[in-house]
Amino acid sequence: MKTIKILSVFTFVALVGIATAVEKPKMNVIQLSNETALIAIANENPAYFELSINAENGDLVYYKESAKELTDLRQVIDYSKMENGFYSLTFKVNDTYVSRDFEVNNKKMIVGETKMKYAPHFNYNSDVLKLSYLNFDEENVRFKIYSDGELVFENKLGNEFVLSAGYDLSKLEKGKYQVELTSLNQQFTYDIEK
């Protein structure tokens, strides 16, 4: 797919506008005992929440999603059966992800700093795909297009904090495609149909 060309670069001001338009949830983790901790989440606007805990090897240890839109969530978790080791607690509301790494060590929970990430913004119109992404961890990011699971196009976007690109997809045949934006710790997908 050598015919795909970068069309434009969005300005930093546009990306700041996108970032300020998304949710700004807060998450706190408080150890209640040697077996339990309280996860307290607050958001300005009602939204559906997803809460998950993954072990260091990626195994899902805990998952909960709200059945209705909420502005806050209080969840007590029992970590007594978790083995000593490192875990990641992730909270998702709309396109915003809040995570905190923590360690379970001899019935103590040691909680790290809060990290916030936003999903990339995709816009597909008139055979032009535009994307913008705030790369908080400044990881190397790759852009890929798949058709029926087969890689059609791949591009390295780099590791800058502000990433944006535009692609002319007019030469692609009619059909369904999956766009993927990946880094070491993140993967985002977007479906398009020509």
DSSP 80-136: TTSPSEEEEEEEEETTEEEEEEEEEETTEEEEEEEEEEEPPEEEEETTEEEEEEE-T
CATH of the domain at 42: 2.60.40.2550
Average pLDDT of the chain to the nearest whole number: 86
Q: Are residues 104 and 34 in the same domain?
A: yes
Mean pLDDT of 70-79: 91
What is residue 116's predicted lDDT score, i.e. its pLDDT?
85
Q: What are the Cα distances from residue 114, in Å, to 25, 89, 91, 185? A: 11, 10, 11, 16
What is residue 81's predicted lDDT score, i.e. its pLDDT?
86
In a domain, 152, yes or no: yes
Residues 132, 14: contact at Cβ < 8 Å? Answer: yes
| pLDDT value at 2 more than 80 | no
Q: Which residue range(s) make up the domain with 180?
A: 120-193
Mean pLDDT of 27-35: 90
Q: Are residues 85 and 51 in the same domain?
A: yes
Q: Are residues 77 and 143 in the same domain?
A: no
The fraction of the chain above a pLDDT of 70, given in percent, is 88
**Domain end point (choices 97, 117, 137):** 117
**Domain end point (choices 117, 132, 151):** 117
For the chain, what is the domain count?
2
pLDDT tens digits for 124-158? Answer: 999 999 999 999 889 999 999 999 999 999 999 99
Looking at per-residue confidence, does 114 or 8 come out higher? 114
Q: Are residues 105 and 133 in the same domain?
A: no
Q: Are residues 109 and 157 in the same domain?
A: no
pLDDT tens digits for 40-50? Answer: 999 999 999 99
Q: Are residues 185 and 109 in the same domain?
A: no
- How open is the CA angle 188-192-194, to the nearest 5 degrees? 160
Mean pLDDT of 81-87: 93
Q: Are residues 111 and 124 in the same domain?
A: no
In a domain, 15, yes or no: no
pLDDT tens digits for 170-186? Answer: 999 999 999 999 988 78
What is residue 8's predicted lDDT score, i.e. its pLDDT?
34
Q: Are residues 109 and 124 in the same domain?
A: no
In a domain, 173, yes or no: yes
Q: Are residues 28 and 93 in the same domain?
A: yes
**Domain end point (choices 90, 117, 144):** 117
Question: pLDDT grade, residue 4 (50/70/90)?
Answer: very low
What is residue 64's predicted lDDT score, i.e. its pLDDT?
92
Q: Are residues 127 and 163 in the same domain?
A: yes
What is residue 117's predicted lDDT score, i.e. its pLDDT?
86
Q: Are residues 144 and 181 in the same domain?
A: yes
Q: What is the pTM of this model?
A: 0.68
Q: Are residues 148 and 97 in the same domain?
A: no
CATH of the domain at 163: 2.60.40.3080
